[in-house]
Structure 1
């Protein structure tokens, strides 16, 4: 080899440098995520932008309703409703995209953009023309003595629920915004009329959902993770298994979302019957399975027989699942911000108490864009909590969480259970973590394959597993405690706010 050739070769090596190991790459990705998060949520920008949005919400209400005593109440309610929408975006949306960020299928900024777009689309396209003024039917509007009492009760409920969700976000606890509104309405109703106003059987069902939601989500997620581990990860030929099973798993996801959106997501556009919903679900399943079989086969050509290859194959389905979850969430949970606002507006304008009211477009816009803005300004904190800090995620585990969330809501709808999407998603994450702890220590198939290949990147020794649990107990206890106290805390806050208003008037 000539001297010139040697120099060229040496220069090429110097330019390329040493190859980065997996740990270095992961640390670099985490650095980018943290930098993006600090850029979005540091300094005075978030409170200033949030303040501008609230001012715009009040101005929009004033423009559409005009000046007047009762219309001032609508303007105040619009500001509080905008504040609630910001808090929903900051706290609740993390459940949809957090696992995808934790699995590194999405960057933090990419997750924020996808969630904001699909949350807004879900709220505006499928949020419903009519919403219930009394969340989950927990109080009887016929017992409310007059519209003025009802207005102040709804105002107190909306304020209390927004304050509680804000506090939970600061503490890093993902809570149910639906349960926050339920507690707020209950507390204000009791303060205004008395305990007889509350539908206690309904409240009992809601209390039962505190246990049912996370357990059901955790069990379904653990079942799917067990299936993936036994049929894709701990098998000799991972690529052949992926070609067989990943199209089926993606088809189940497509069918579940088609069913979910048919039942709950397109109330504003279309209300299909049961037979039509079944046909839509079966069609979505079959079409997706037929499409994904050649797609997965083509993507897997030339891949190594490693878990990293499986993670790459799950990446795109996981991103699609996060987008669909965001759409469904926006369609259903925007009512937590605009339901009480619409109720206040109706009572202020017409002087009566209605069980259901129409939603003007400007009210829907406050809810939709408030959720998206709250996600951008304050969402990264809860996204990191849900996606990274509870337990370690990868695309397969995150996909199980998304699949569990969709299936659990469908099962709960059939059973008539008032479950929380937040409790389901976070319960699924806990289920994933606790199942991994169990499976790692007890699976004979895993131990056999680990003995055959010490290069298995899923391997964690039993000694290491004993040293560090896969679910962080401190976060587990904080979140469970926040769930338990959400309804009584918001009820107490709402009742005190209503009494303060009554005393001031």
Structure 2
């Protein structure tokens, strides 16, 4: 029992560290357009984003946590093996997050989490312990398990592109003939949209860690059923907020400048698009990638205005990273599990 206890403690620490790297990695997604459009200074952006990021996990419900915490079923395994698998899967996701941050590439922490955990489960126990969701999808029309996660992650960028496209078209018509002073008002309005984006990010992304942490507690026998305790919400809110405050600034240049030259209207429309989509997904229990939604909203906004000005090569590079993330994090987790198995016997 003592071994299981300390292994569970180590895994809880890893979950919170993943949550921290999630915030650290995604800070640029939230503040990039604010800074690029000169609506806020970096210090102002971090203070406002940090506060609303912290409130998101506390007020955003637990629908996404339930989805993430139930896409694998390890209840039939012994406790030590089950918790070790989660430990290795999360560590694989962390390694990929840090690698892409170091290279300044916007990648999805959500993809990394799913790939890492699923890879470790398949390698350690077999594919039957992953709730893939294929059969229920065909028989009952319901999205479950990995299928629900993947559909959410791949549909959200498409929506980000086209919703951003439409919102920017509408914004340009409303502001047709407006004086240059309108930019000042748009910059001030970003205090609201940036706060909304930060809140929605906290509500969606921190719940992924909440789901994993609660699953660890269930598998270790520390709580009787899958129900997110308040202290788990609070711990994940603190961890992701600290990550945001630390800031992965290497990615700001990619999102704020390298895809399309962002002006105040572009920034406002991107933040509004992203906040609406991510918050809607959070209450629907659909885990989405803030990185995906923000980046594709900028692409859609650029496409609606000047398609040739969009740096499609950079967009293509980002798209490749998205496709690589799940298999890369899965392979990383498998290697980590193999090493851990040798160490613990």
In structure 2, relative to structure 1, the CA distance for the partners of 1:430 and 1:357 (3 Å cut) is: same
Q: 1:184 to 1:347 in 2, by over 3 A?
A: same
Counterpart position of 2:162: 219
Give the structure 1 partner of residue 317 of structure 2.
Answer: 478
Counterpart contact for 2:110–2:288, Cα < 8 Å: no
Cα pair distance change 1:151/1:165, threshold 3 Å:
same
**Aligned mates of 2:280, 2:63 — CA distance in 1:** 25
Does the 8 Å CA contact 2:7/2:80 hold for their aligned counterparts? no
Q: Distance in 2 between matches of 1:83 and 1:433?
A: 35
On the 8 A contact 1:177/1:336 being kept in 2, the answer is no
Indicate how the Cα distance of structure 1 residues 359 and 161 shifts in structure 2: closer, same or farther if over 3 A, else same. farther
Q: 1:433 and 2:272 equivalent?
A: no
Change in 2 beyond 3 A, CA 1:497/1:348: same
Is the deviation greater in 191-200 or in 411-420? 411-420
Cα distance in 2 between the residues matched to 1:484 and 1:232: 37
Per the TM alignment, residue 494 of structure 1 is displaced from its structure 2 partner at its CA by 1.7
Kept in 2, the 8 Å contact 1:130–1:359? The answer is no
1:389 pairs, out of 254, 258, 261, with: 258
- 2:254 match: secondary structure: helix
Aligned residue for 1:188? 120
- Deviation by residue 1:108-162 (Cα, 9 ceiling, x = unmatched): 1111111111111222444549943x726432345x4222221011111211111
**2:64–2:207: 8 Å Cα contact kept in structure 1?**
no
- For residues 57-456 of structure 1, the aligned pairs below 5 Å read 68-126=2-60, 128=62, 131-132=65-66, 135=68, 137-142=70-75, 144-200=76-132, 201=134, 202-233=145-176, 235=177, 238=178, 306=179, 308-350=180-222, 354=225, 356-361=226-231, 363-409=232-278, 419-438=288-307
CA deviation map 1:243-282 (0-9, x unaligned): xxxxxxxxxxxxxxxxxxxxxxxxxxxxxxxxxxxxxxxx
Secondary structure of the equivalent of 1:138? Answer: coil
What SS is found at the alignment partner of 1:101? Answer: helix
Structure possessing the higher radius of gyration over alpha carbons: 1
Whether the aligned pair in 1 keeps the contact of 2:60 and 2:203 (CA below 8 Å) is yes
Contact 2:108 2:322 in 1 (8 A): yes
Residues of 2 paired with 1:411 and 1:122: CA distance? 13
Task: Tell me how far 1:169 sits from its aligned partner.
Answer: 1.2
Partners in 1 of 2:65 and 2:170 — Cα distance? 39
Instruction: Give the secondary structure class of the aligned counterpart of 1:392.
Output: coil
CA distance 1:129–1:476, shift in 2 (3 Å): closer
Partner deviation per Cα, 1:452-494 (whole Å, 9 max, x = no partner):
xxxxxxxxxxxxxxxxx52234431221111111111112222
Task: Kindly report structure 1 stretches of 4+ aligned residues shifted beyond 6 Å.
Answer: 413-417
Deviation, structure 1 residue 68:
4.1
Distance 2:280 2:286 in 1: 9
TM-score, scaled relative to structure 2: 0.85
Gaps of 5+ in 2: 135-144
| Shift, 1:85, TM fit | 2.1
TM-score (norm 1): 0.60
Partner-residue secondary structure (3-state), 1:199: coil
**How far has the Cα of 1:380 moved from its partner?**
2.1
Count of matched residue positions in the alignment of Structure 1 and Structure 2: 333
Aligned equivalents of 1:129 and 1:139: distance in 2? 16
Q: Higher relative contact order at CA 8 Å, sep ≥6: structure 1 or structure 2?
A: 2
Contact 1:157 1:188 in 2 (8 A): yes
- CA root-mean-square deviation: 2.9
Q: Secondary structure of 2:227's partner?
A: strand
